[in-house]
Structure 1
Amino acid sequence: MNPAAKITAFTAALAASFGGAYGIGAATDPGAGTTEPPSRTEGAAPHPEGNRTGPPAGGLQISEGGYTLDLRTPRVEAERRSELRFAVLDRSGRPLTDFQREHDKEMHLILASRDLATYRHLHPTRAADGTWSAPVELPAAGDYRVFADFTPAGRNAADLTLGADLAVSGPYKAAELPKPALTAEVDGYTVSLNGTLRPDVPEHLTFTVRKDGRPVTDLQPYLGAYGHLVALRAGDLAYLHVHPDGEPGDGSTRSGPDVSFTATAPGSATYRLFLDFKHDGRVRTAAFTVPSGAGADDPRPATPSDGHEDGGHGH
């Protein structure tokens, strides 16, 4: 059996055995106070809220479209620098080596803890044999999700986001999801959000960046735009593709203070939004908790966002 088939079969077996365990485990927090986080299936956890009527979300499967994420570093230690290694396998089980560049990169690697307290956006390096690697140093133990966001080379190739579980060992204590807020503070910047996510309906999300109370009008391009946005659904960590409106140099998109995106939520749920923006030569991340569906507009005080690992951007 080739590696892709082995991984798929192993994933299916885990899902069949433990598919219902995640919702119960999250509610009772069985890993609190232990030295090892509880293990979970590579597949999707049950959707904790709402419906699934919107567009399909990514990152819930380890295999899709004939491609498989082969995570070769399934476990690292908290607060210790490690090298995360992985490959994307094709239908024959061989590592893929031909990718399209999307938003200036062949591969976008997202790491997020299950409690959404920690987030990293990394740009790994690909070796000639198709093995990708990136240095990581994660601050807390727990269950994490690794997302490989890429587009295979070739005509009519579709964007894919594959996901796999990463265990980070050490003393474990789950964090509570921050309350919904329309502002976030990071490194002296205040970022405000105007707009909301709604199921099945494309909505504009506009982020306004200020520093010391003054609008920032000289944002720098990052990944082909003045901002990059990732949305993760609380509970199963479904990955939502969010596309920027306009791009630098198109004659109409300004370099701040506003950065806008168009997004459609795949069902009513609570999402954690992570906005990367670049100013003064450094990328920062502002994080928001946003409910979608009825009653989604909920302005509340700002909550500090987790710091961003600048070394992982590759710039």
Structure 2
Amino acid sequence: MPGMSGALGLPDVPANARGLSAERDGYRLDPKDTDLPAGRAVGYPFTVTGPDGAPVTDFAVHQTKKLHFYAIRSDLTGFQHLHPAMAADGTWTADLAALTPGDWRLYTSFVPDTGPRKGSELVLSRTVTVPGAAAALPLPAPVGSTTVDGYTVTLRSEPMAGAHRLTATVTRDGGPVTDLQPYLDSYAHLSAFHEGDQALAHLHPTDTVDGDHGGPTLTFQALLGEAGNWRLFLQFQTAGQLHTAELTLNVT
């Protein structure tokens, strides 16, 4: 990082396996509302319809939650990672923070606990347009480190066969941070969005969780199936506070 070169043997991952489709293997993301307002918090109700045409209500716990919800604007700004609640009829409601005008992609990640895809993760998404004058922001250039809430996150990437080993090191005031707390049953959560098509990759570090003693180094195995820029959002927790570090990674 910031750039990588050489033939990496990047896999050809179909669109419906990269979170870019509203339907996959008979499962479909069905929103209750198609319009979202700008400038204020709003609930986004939706269901996941199964192959039998009925709302799915039986979900396995995956990374401590039954469903993960992501929102990102087309310029890869405004990242939100939420964990909605589900009503008895299968309706989920994601409580979104205020959205700026523009085109947004909304993702759901879940594991059915019954049916033909039982035990397999699925990622579905739809796009919505938030009304108003939209000004696209340029993607920040790839850099090796960033600072958030006083913590510095340094990211290194090592290409592997069809994948990458990402190593994040967390420091504060020049010293190593060793008090990371478990977040979603690991010491960090990494969401990556591809510039252009907004393909999603999300993963946790391979490090073993042992109480509030995570860090300073976290290792991820990342399947990034497309060349180009990826916007990375690394979430980690200390003293009960969640921090989100943002970096751009270039894959060639």
TM-score (norm 1): 0.71
> Is residue 191 from structure 1 mapped to residue 150 from structure 2 by the alignment?
no
Partners in 1 of 2:10 and 2:156 — Cα distance? 24
Counting only pairs closer than 5 Å after superposition, residues 189-268 of structure 1 correspond to structure 2 as 189-196=151-158, 200-249=161-210, 255-268=214-227
State the Cα deviation string for residues 191-240 of structure 1 (Å, max 9, x = none). Answer: 11011566x52321111112222221100000010000111111110112
Partners in 2 of 1:134 and 1:53 — Cα distance? 32
CA contact (8 A) 2:41 2:99 kept: no
Q: Which amino acid aligns with 1:147?
A: Y
Q: Which amino acid aligns with 1:285?
A: T
Whose helix fraction is larger, Structure 1's or Structure 2's? Answer: 1
- Matched with 1:129 is 89
> Is residue 100 from structure 1 mapped to residue 60 from structure 2 by the alignment?
yes
Partners in 2 of 1:272 and 1:196 — Cα distance? 17
Whose strand fraction is larger, Structure 1's or Structure 2's? Answer: 2
Q: Which amino acid aligns with 1:53?
A: P
Partners in 2 of 1:84 and 1:138 — Cα distance? 12
- Matched with 1:170 is 132
Counting only pairs closer than 5 Å after superposition, residues 130-149 of structure 1 correspond to structure 2 as 130-149=90-109
Change (3 A) 1:177 1:132: same
Q: Which amino acid aligns with 2:33?
A: T
Change (3 A) 1:184 1:73: farther
> Is residue 79 from structure 1 mapped to residue 39 from structure 2 by the alignment?
yes
More deviation, 85-94/120-129: 85-94
Partners in 2 of 1:176 and 1:277 — Cα distance? 25
What fraction of aligned residue pairs are identical, expressed as a percent?
Answer: 38
Partners in 1 of 2:84 and 2:240 — Cα distance? 20
> Is residue 110 from structure 1 mapped to residue 87 from structure 2 by the alignment?
no
Number of aligned positions between the proteins? 241
Cα drift, residue 290 of structure 1: 0.7
Extract unaligned runs of 5+ from structure 1.
1-50, 294-315
State the Cα deviation string for residues 99-150 of structure 1 (Å, max 9, x = none). Answer: 0111000000010011001100000000000000022123421101001000
Q: Which amino acid aligns with 1:229?
A: L
Partners in 2 of 1:196 and 1:214 — Cα distance? 24
TM-score (norm 2): 0.88
Instruction: Spell out structure 1 runs of 4+ moving beyond 6 A.
Output: none
CA contact (8 A) 1:78 1:137 kept: no
- Matched with 2:3 is none
- Matched with 1:307 is none
Partners in 2 of 1:65 and 1:54 — Cα distance? 19
Partners in 1 of 2:102 and 2:247 — Cα distance? 21
Change (3 A) 1:218 1:281: same
CA contact (8 A) 1:197 1:292 kept: no
- Matched with 2:5 is none
SS of the residue 2:36 aligns to: strand
> Is residue 281 from structure 1 mapped to residue 243 from structure 2 by the alignment?
no
- Matched with 2:6 is none
CA contact (8 A) 1:77 1:170 kept: no
CA contact (8 A) 2:48 2:90 kept: yes
